[in-house]
Amino acid sequence: MLTKRIIPCLDIKDGRTVKGVNFVSLRDAGDPVELAQRYADEGADELVFLDISASEEKRKTLAKLVRNVAYAIDIPFTVGGGISSVEDVGILLENGADKVSINSAAVRRPELISELAQKFGTQCIVVAIDAKQIENVWVVHLVGGKVPTERKLFEWAAEAVERGAGELLFTSMDHDGTKQGFANKALKQLSETVSVPVIASGGAGNVQHFIDTFALGNADAALAASVFHFKEISIPELKSDLRNNKIPVR
C-alpha cells in the first residue's frame, strides 16, 4: 500500500506566509523559507507554496523565493499562483520547484494542461480545484474562490486528468480554515472518479480529521496550513497517531 503524505501549505502574499478563513481575513504566519526548513526537519513529505496574490493581482510567482526554498530544503515542493503558460512553468522548475500547481488558467484554457504535461511530464503537473457547494452541487471557483464558474467538480476533475494532470489538489472552500474536518464525502467520490492521487485541502483542525480523510475520504495526501504554522499539530506526533490507526505514512 502506498504511504499517505502530509503536506504543509504556505499561502504567500507579498513574500510572507499568510492564513485566512474561507479564503479571507488573512493574518501573517511567518517567513516562508524559515517555515519550509522547519517542516522539512519535522518530517513533512512535501510542501506546497501558493502565491495567493498572483492570480488576483496578475503577477508572476517570484522565482527568487522558489530558488531560496530549493536551497533550504530536501523534500519535494509544488509552486502555484498566477501560472498561465509553458514559460511560467519552465522558470519555476528551473529555479528548483519539483511540481507546479495550476488552477484558474487551466479552467479558462484547459489545453494548457495538455501543453504542460507534454512539455514537462504529467508527474510535475498538479491541477488545483477550489470548489464550494451551491444547492448541493460542487461548483468550481476561480481567482482565490471569488469567481464561480459553470464547471462542476467531478466532471472538471475527470477532464483535467484526461488532459494530463498527474495529481489533483481539491480544496473545499466551505471547509477552508474552519477546522471542522475535510470534505470527506466529496473526496471519496473524487478518488473513485480519477486514477491519479488526490490531495485533500481545507478544514484540518485536529489529528482525527487527518485520520478521517485517509480512512473515509480515501485521500492520498492531506494538506493543511494554520494547524502547522501555529504549532497546533506537530507533524511527528501526527504521523505517530496515523501509524497507530494503521494508516501507512513515511
Q: Catalytic site residue 31?
A: no
Q: Is residue 188 in some structural domain?
A: yes
CB 145 within 8 A of CB 103: no
Does pLDDT of 57 surpass 50? no
**103-142: burial string, b at 16+ Cβ within 10 Å, e else:** bbbbbeebebbebbbeebebebbbbbbbbbeeeeebbbbb
Q: Is residue 250 in some structural domain?
A: no
Q: Structurally, how many domains does the chain consist of?
A: 1
Q: Is residue 239 in some structural domain?
A: yes
CA distance to 185, 189, 206, per residue, from 216 (Å): 8, 11, 15
| Catalytic position from the list 11, 51, 88, 212 | 11
Q: Is residue 72 in some structural domain?
A: yes
CB 99 within 8 A of CB 75: no
How far does CA 142 lie from the centroid of its chain?
Answer: 15
pLDDT recorded at residue 59:
47
Write the pLDDT tens digit of every residue in 70-102: 999 999 999 998 888 999 999 999 999 999 999
Entry field: residues in the chain: 250
Q: Is residue 92 in some structural domain?
A: yes
Write the pLDDT tens digit of every residue in 178-212: 789 999 999 999 999 999 999 999 999 999 999 99
| Catalytic position from the list 88, 130, 176, 220 | 130
Q: Catalytic site residue 28?
A: no
Q: Is residue 10 in some structural domain?
A: yes
Mean pLDDT in the chain?
90
| All three cell numbers of 214 | 485517509
Q: Is residue 249 in some structural domain?
A: no
What CATH number is associated with residue 97?
3.20.20.70
Domain span at 71: 5-244
As a whole number of angstroms, the distance between CA 57 and CA 49 comes to 17
Q: Is residue 136 in some structural domain?
A: yes
Of 79-88, 149-158, 185-194, 239-248, which gets the smallest average pLDDT? 79-88
